[in-house]
Structure 1
Amino acid sequence: MSVFAKASASRSARAVLSGIAVIGVSALMLTGCSTGGGGASSSETPVADSGGANPIAAGDRSLSMKIGTILPQSGALAFLGPPEEAGVALAIQDIKAASPGIDVEAIYRDSGDTTTDTATVSVTDLLSQDVSAIVGAASSGVSKTVIDQIVAAGVVQFSPANTSPDFTNYPDKGLYWRTAPSDLLQGEVLGNLIAEDGNSSLGMIVLNDAYGTGLAAATKKSFEAAGGKVVAEELFNEGDSSFDAQIAAVTAANPDAVAIISFDQAKIVVPALVGSGYPGGKLYFVDGNLSDYSADFAPGLIAGSKGTLPGLDVGTLGDFTDRLLKINPALTDYSYAAESYDAVILIALAAYAANDTSGTSIAKYLRQVSGGTGNGEKVTNFADGVKLLKQGKQIDYDGYSGPITFDENGDPTEATIGIYQYGADNKYKRIN
């Protein structure tokens, strides 16, 4: 079932809530950063503008661009790095295959997590190589440590996985974008899911950073609006290795369900929580820790537990999944691969539309190639997009991650949140 929720702030937005009938849907504000930046550079006469969008010059292009990545090769989100980097690599492959007059090179670097300064080192290196855009980080907390550095350099930062609501109104000069929806949406879906499963009380074990606290707040608001009560909310910090105090406090409150809002700390938290006597089937996971635990947990440890993950079920996208596996045959998780792919495609389409690879010009055109302005023709792949842009026409790109329409702040106005459930093998499958 899909439920549509409309924002009521500075714009109207549609959010596709896939998987459950949401109880008491509140107004959702899914906004990010304001668009801005420089203009296109071309000596040709542009086609007339439409729908308030920037003009697009017809004609061939001869562009070259570097895109850097700061995706997790190490740290608490390292399990997301392989699918995200595979998504980037596949996008670069498809761009090259189209031979469109724009050459794109990817430079891969590690983001680490917030316990290190890996991301700062990586960003400094990438900026020294004159990248036009940086894809990443996956962690909202990590992005917060480098966003000012990237913005100051006039480079686009495009995250495929940042979900913290804090980026919505961040002073980023129009240079920060994301294909992942704000956790105002995921939290609403998660909270209602827990309530609809018949739970009246909820405990939460939460990572104390921008991602964890933001998602916890949205989940709590939704769950309590549906008639439930959060009876325990225990925080921990990145780098903590013992969670005994948090587990003791949560289990003492005897909640009907427990939400684990973390990254790979779940590998320690969950066995300890279940080992304390709490039923493994009453746990709820989120995008930061919804992972294949078949090699980590005893069989059946979390059978029946559920979780949420933004985006379409990439595992069902046949050709896309097959092509990702050709990039990296070792992939077992596809989280945010599609969002990473679409980020690169959108960056390249925006550069082509602008006929300019500067970060500010790319940012100026990102919204309209997504269909946020311009009343463009719908396209679902890079080759068709550049074909129309070459004719001076507006486009509206939707990709493997689903409908992508940016608002005036750089956030997607449509998003799908999948509901997943773990089986006895500790692997998760989408249930609706």
Structure 2
Amino acid sequence: MSVFTRSRRSTVLGAIALVGASAVVLAGCASGGSGDDGGDTSTPEARDLTLKIGTILPDTGTLAFLGPPEEAGVGLAVDDINEAAKGIEVGPVVWGDSGDTDNKAYATTIQKLISEKVDAAIGAASSGVTKLFLDDAVAAGILTFSPANTSLDFTNWDDNNLYWRTAPADTLQGEVLGNVVAEDGHENVAVLYQNDSYGTGLNKVFQDTFTGSGGKIVAEQSYNTGDTNFDAQISAILASNPDAIALITFDEIYTIGPALIAAGYPAKDLYLVDGNLKNFGSDEKWPAGVSMEGAKGTSPAGPKPDEDFQKRLNDWWVADGNAELKDYTYSNESYDAVVLIALAALAANSTDSADIAGKLQEVSGGSGDGEKCTSFADCADLILDGKTANYDGYSGPITFDEHGDPTEATIGVFQYGADNLTTRIDL
């Protein structure tokens, strides 16, 4: 069963959820490439592998704020793997934009990754975007590994075992969000959600959890991707006189949040999710003078942030010619995705996508009796010694099930301060 450890309002507000394999039905799957002779690791032997990875992450679109931390995670992991010199090298990354379901940048990128014959593609961030290119990736034999997809639909996707993810499915975040809202003493809640696989899935689990605790949903409004006017939905929600509002959106928060506050709704009673939980105080797109102080949000943030790791991510990003990172959302999951792919390739002694997929559950600790290790170099040493590695990364224990979903994950709870920046409060 799910184990939720949450502090009460009398102490520190927050929520951590650690879920075991039997707790909830999560989601995932993956494929790709340029195989070596693959598979036989019965005796320790030298490796000489070259892995080719591409990205299909949001440089543009409604989730563009996730692009920098995710790409930094990929880039830093590649550097760490190559510097370790353990018999596998990751060649130059084929970088690509996923965009969103509106601008459709993914359509060009997936064809580029297929033509480049990458062994694995990291992305997309949006579940809705991944759904639009995943079948093409599977048909091309590319291992697709998302650091941020949370839709429940991927659990049973027909993917030939070629889709995997380090982000937990919406089941977990929805449960945490529902419990946090209930713990805060709210009884009559309205929901405004995006009408796609991400929004509908997260909304359902949130509502089931909140109503299961005795709460009532007094209004439910949705919108479609690409909509820019939300006056009707906001009016309907406010008319229901809710004591809290859950906003399950992407960039639409830039319109919806300020509109609610301008209408007199208190920010402290707003609840956000990973798709819109941003540091507005450092965001030029957020209207000046609009305060989100007191609002809360949830995100699959992993364990307590590692400040040294975040510094390394930022240093890598800046050295690549970019401005400093403003956000680290899904950077852990992106880093771990690349490390797990490399470890699986090392364990399989192959860069063939199917061979890599065949070892991903093992190196995550989801099968076998592996020895725990927390860095690529240490895990690689175990594999090269003929042992089984069990990688616990910056995003947590991971521990994949047979569907390619992590069965252990931590959901962080954040709160906005007077500076419109978030602070994690579940630690």
Question: Percent of aligned pairs with the same residue?
Answer: 52
- Report whether the alignment pairs 1:206 with 2:193: yes
Partner Cα separation in structure 2 for residue 261 and residue 197 of structure 1 = 18
Mapped partners of 1:33, 1:257: distance in 2: 32
Mapped to 2, the partners of 1:85 and 1:36 lie a distance apart of 20
Give the 3-state SS of the residue equivalent to 2:241 in structure 1: coil
Q: Tell me the amino acid that sits aligned with residue 294 of structure 2.
A: G
Instruction: Work out which of the residue numbers 97, 114, 122 in structure 1 matches 2:83.
Output: 97
2:246 to 224, 239, 259: 259
Counterpart among 42, 53, 58 of residue 72 in structure 1: 58
Deviation at 1:101? 1.6
Pick from 238, 254, 262 the counterpart of residue 225 of structure 2. Answer: 238
1:269 match: secondary structure: helix
Task: Give, as a single letter, the amino acid of the residue that structure 2 aligns with 1:129.
Answer: E
Inter-partner Cα distance in structure 1 for 2:403 and 2:339: 19
The answer to whether the 8 A contact 1:28-1:185 is kept is no
User: Aligned partners of 2:71 and 2:351: how far apart in 1?
Assistant: 22
Distance in 2 between residues matched to 1:150 and 1:230, nearest whole Å = 39
Partner of 1:168, secondary structure, is helix
TM-score, with structure 2 as normaliser: 0.91
Whole-Å Cα distance in 2 between the matches of residues 417 and 310 of structure 1?
4
Residue of structure 2 equivalent to 1:31: 26
Which of 297, 317, 334 is the equivalent residue of 1:328?
Answer: 317
AA aligned opposite 1:117:
K
Q: Distance in 2 between matches of 1:124 and 1:34?
A: 20
What's the counterpart of residue 308 of structure 1? 298
Corresponding letter in the other structure for 1:309: S
Equivalent position to 2:343, from 338, 349, 372: 349
- 1:325-352 alpha-carbon deviations (Å, 9 max, x no partner): 1112410100000000000000011111
Match of 1:371 among 365, 374, 392: 365
Paired residues for 1:138-287 under 5 Å: 138-287=125-274
Letter matched to residue 252 of structure 1: A
Output the CA distance in 2 between the equivalents of 1:100 and 1:313: 27
CA contact (8 A) 2:193 2:249 kept: yes
Q: Are the equivalent residues in 2 in contact too, given 1:300–1:425 (CA < 8 A)?
A: no
Find 2:397's aligned residue among 403, 406, 413: 403
Would the aligned equivalents of 2:40 and 2:348 in 1 still touch at CA under 8 Å?
no
* Correspondence 1:394 to 2:388: yes
Read off the aligned partner of 2:292 and give its amino acid letter.
Answer: I
Distance 2:79 2:4 in 1: 31
- Following the alignment from structure 1 to structure 2, what is the Cα–Cα distance between the partners of residues 95 and 187? 34
Structure 1 residue matching 2:108: 3-state secondary structure: helix
Please state how far the C-alpha of 1:36 moved relative to its aligned partner.
9.4
Distance in 1 between residues matched to 2:5 and 2:37, nearest whole Å: 38
- Cα distance between partner residues in 2 of 1:265 and 1:282: 18
Residues 11-22 of structure 1: pairs in structure 2 closer than 5 A: 19-20=14-15
Counterpart for residue 84 of structure 1 = 70
Q: Residue type matched to 1:94 in 2?
A: D
In the alignment, which of 36, 45, 52 is matched to residue 59 of structure 1? 45
Deviations 1:83-135 (A, max 9, x none): 00000000001001101121113111000001122112101101110100100
Name the Cα RMSD after superposition.
2.2
Q: Which residue of 2 aligns with 1:53?
A: none
Q: Which amino acid aligns with 1:104?
A: V
Pick the aligned partner of 1:317 from 306, 310, 326.
Answer: 306
Matched residues in 1 for 2:401 and 2:360: separation?
10
For residue 136 of structure 1, the aligned residue among 107, 113, 123 is: 123
Question: What SS class does the counterpart of residue 122 from structure 1 fall into?
Answer: helix
Q: How many angstroms does 1:202 deviate by?
A: 0.8
**CA shift at 1:162, angstroms?**
0.4
Name the residue aligned to 2:421: 427
**Conserved 8 A contact 1:45-1:58:** no
1:45 to 1:310, Cα distance in 2 relative to 1, 3 A: closer
SS of corresponding position for 1:351: helix
- How much does 1:358 deviate? 1.1
Return the alpha-carbon distance in structure 1 between the equivalents of residues 90 and 15 of structure 2: 40
